[in-house]
Structure 1
């Protein structure tokens, strides 16, 4: 598995696969061909169908500037992944000198095909959760120690940076009002939700309102092109920060303990990324919100000081009960139903950790996390492309713009 640095990335919204990935690809190509006369980009599959709402063409054009770029939007998907594009490079004689095939595979990660293809650097020897849990038990170490054993010497500093960036996105979103950019003219509500939470007398309602407001704050920041952290994607970036900020503000957990929880949650996201997908265009929203919910459930279970078996149980429930969740963004924007799903997903994560804490001591969970990851992968394959970030079905079709 790759480093958690490849899972948690600080960037701008609204989409890790449609904005951050294409931006990274364009930067790489520009470094190789700084003297190009012009570029032409063929956007394929989901990049073509929802690229406008996700600002795909905008970010590519901005990255290549001042070199001009033109676009073709082609609904057919390329062979490797639904988020594919071909970049044509033209020299000063206006002759095409190269066509580069590149895929945005989720979470801001990219894959070049052909002579530019590079294999990802493997940092973790273990490939799935069963192997990881067996290893930590044999070595007598915690899941956090397992992460530190495999990452580099500056990784703790990296975790603090990621945690601070998450908290900044929450706090920024809680301060803002008005409407989010785009045709939907969706009103920001995180600030009002937070104020409602402060004025709510019933403790149970107040706590859940706080968590929801934190998730909405980040998701609204993401939808409006603000800075967020992929966890594991932009579209699901509000769930992990909501749980962590709640633990910090309401439960008064110190940052030195929260970075450990952040690392543990990341292990589960890494397992999903390695063995299935975190791309909505490939697996539906179960791959994004479902994965984030599993990560946050594991994070909360670590905060509850549950054992490794119960942490796995919490993460398994977080993913299992999002199976089949469709990715059907209205108008191609990461707004409806995406923002609401971040709030809902954060509450599900809290509930999964609580249920693992209570049920885990009553009976052994019969469904492993790895099993659910396999089921999620197969479910994603079976989902119609209309429900995988194409805006051709579901809510997007019902409320088509």
Structure 2
């Protein structure tokens, strides 16, 4: 296992890690390729083709805007979402974009330069093909694939193996069974083992600072989501609910009879606040994807608010444990709704959060693995059905349900050690088989499930 915590948790903007963050990164990489090849000043025309799931739901996910911003040199982890509308308006008014913020290229006003296609490139459902033409008709062409969680790969990167001699972590693992055994052999918790692995690639202080930034961005996203009212972008005219729910929860009198299930309301609030921010194009942490960004922060905030003795150290261990579980999934399959349906997004997030919560509640390594298994087992077969191609319905509530499931999965796993009939590795294999069997229309294509059974007004 050579992937990092920071491959699982990535800071970016909404609404989609595969459809917004990925295309922005791909466009940025293509612009830099043009610069490296001495082409920036030669470009007279651009053409971008979006295939498969990107072509089917890209308009609702702001893929066109992400491509423009990426070509101008913006990166999703540093872009200020507050500046996006102003810059896009300037591009529309002038008819020009600035490659890497310095080379003007006129956009085609008659024939569209951005093409949404329903067919697919051969390597992955989320494919993009970039063309740059000079005045003589010569071209630079490159294909990229958004493979899930904001990760982008070129044709070569999908083919090539990791370079020989790459730094190996002290405790490599590719499965749940390997992770559990390595922890037991070394006498380490999962968080401790991951912390040791991360130090093979970066100093300890950098690991701590990076995880701290992830936690801070998650908390800031919840706070902002709890403040903002109004409608989410798009034709569905979905009203934001988190701010009103926050006011309601804050106004409950201390003297009123205590609701034993009030913690569920807060968990729902945290998850909805994050996913509404994501749907609005705000800054979120993909965990492991933008579409599932609300689950892990909601369960982490539940730990901090409702678990006696919670601490900053516990938050650190929570996120490292969640990342370890995410890395097991990543070793087996790309985590994207276009390939696996929502079981590969909210299902994986639920599994990650369940295992992490079990760990900070004092669970053994075996109980953590069991919690992660329960979290996925009861999300198997979940389709990806964003109405109107927007990460709104049913995605916002689905994140809240995923967080509640994660808490229950952790509590079930902590009931005691037992011989598991189904292991985490077996449930991951089942998830992959289910995703392969699932019809394309149920995998982020907006052509099946709730998308066609609910009339969009």
Instruction: Specify if TM > 0.5.
Output: yes
* Aligned mate of 1:248, from 289, 301, 304: 304
1:263-274 mapped onto 2 (5 Å cutoff): 263-274=320-331
Q: How many angstroms apart in 2 are the aligned matches of 1:295 and 1:212?
A: 17
Partner of 2:218: 166
For the residue of structure 1 that corresponds to 2:48, the secondary structure is strand
Q: 1:116 to 1:394 in 2, by over 3 A?
A: closer
Q: How many angstroms apart in 1 are the aligned matches of 2:45 and 2:7?
A: 31
Q: How many angstroms apart in 2 are the aligned matches of 1:115 and 1:309?
A: 35
1:5-154 mapped onto 2 (5 Å cutoff): 5-34=6-35, 35=40, 36-64=43-71, 65-66=97-98, 67-68=105-106, 70-91=113-134, 93=135, 95-114=137-156, 119=161, 124=169, 125-151=172-198, 152-153=202-203, 154=206
Partner of 2:5: 4
Q: 1:249 to 1:96 in 2, by over 3 A?
A: farther
Q: How many angstroms apart in 2 are the aligned matches of 1:266 and 1:119?
A: 23
Bigger shift: residues 271-280 or 348-357 = 271-280
Alpha-carbon contact 2:353-2:403 (below 8 Å) kept: yes
- Computing the radius of gyration over CA atoms, which structure comes out larger, 1 or 2? 2
Tell me how far 1:117 sits from its aligned partner: 6.6
RMSD (Å), alpha carbons: 1.8
Partner of 1:394: 449
Q: 1:396 to 1:122 in 2, by over 3 A?
A: farther
Alpha-carbon contact 2:271-2:403 (below 8 Å) kept: yes
Q: 1:95 to 1:117 in 2, by over 3 A?
A: farther
For the residue of structure 1 that corresponds to 2:287, the secondary structure is coil
Q: Deviations over 1:15-58 (max 9, x none)?
A: 00000011111111111214132321111100000000011111
Bigger shift: residues 262-271 or 28-37 = 28-37
Tell me how far 1:274 sits from its aligned partner: 1.6
Q: How many angstroms apart in 2 are the aligned matches of 1:215 and 1:118?
A: 38
For the residue of structure 1 that corresponds to 2:60, the secondary structure is helix
Q: Deviations over 1:55-111 (max 9, x none)?
A: 1111102322323551122101111111001111212x1524221111000000011
Q: Deviations over 1:156-195 (max 9, x none)?
A: 1111110011001001101111111111111111122223
Alpha-carbon contact 2:149-2:336 (below 8 Å) kept: yes
Q: Deviations over 1:211-243 (max 9, x none)?
A: 110000000000000000000000000000001
1:195 and 2:195 aligned: no
Tell me how far 1:277 sits from its aligned partner: 2.8
Tell me how far 1:4 sits from its aligned partner: 1.3
Unaligned runs of 5+ in 2: 72-96, 99-104, 108-112
Partner of 1:211: 267
What's the TM-score once normalised by structure 1's chain length? Answer: 0.95
Partner of 2:83: none
Q: How many angstroms apart in 1 are the aligned matches of 2:316 and 2:437?
A: 36
For the residue of structure 1 that corresponds to 2:229, the secondary structure is coil
* Runs of 4+ with >4 A deviation: 114-124
For the residue of structure 2 that corresponds to 1:175, the secondary structure is coil
Tell me how far 1:138 sits from its aligned partner: 1.0
Q: 1:38 to 1:63 in 2, by over 3 A?
A: farther
Q: How many angstroms apart in 1 are the aligned matches of 2:8 and 2:31?
A: 24
Tell me how far 1:400 sits from its aligned partner: 5.5
Alpha-carbon contact 2:48-2:129 (below 8 Å) kept: yes
Tell me how far 1:122 sits from its aligned partner: 7.5
Alpha-carbon contact 2:175-2:425 (below 8 Å) kept: yes
Q: Deviations over 1:102-130 (max 9, x none)?
A: 10000000110149976567855321111
1:370 and 2:393 aligned: no
Q: 1:68 to 1:295 in 2, by over 3 A?
A: farther
For the residue of structure 1 that corresponds to 2:414, the secondary structure is helix
Unaligned runs of 5+ in 1: none
Q: 1:122 to 1:335 in 2, by over 3 A?
A: farther
Alpha-carbon contact 1:61-1:68 (below 8 Å) kept: no
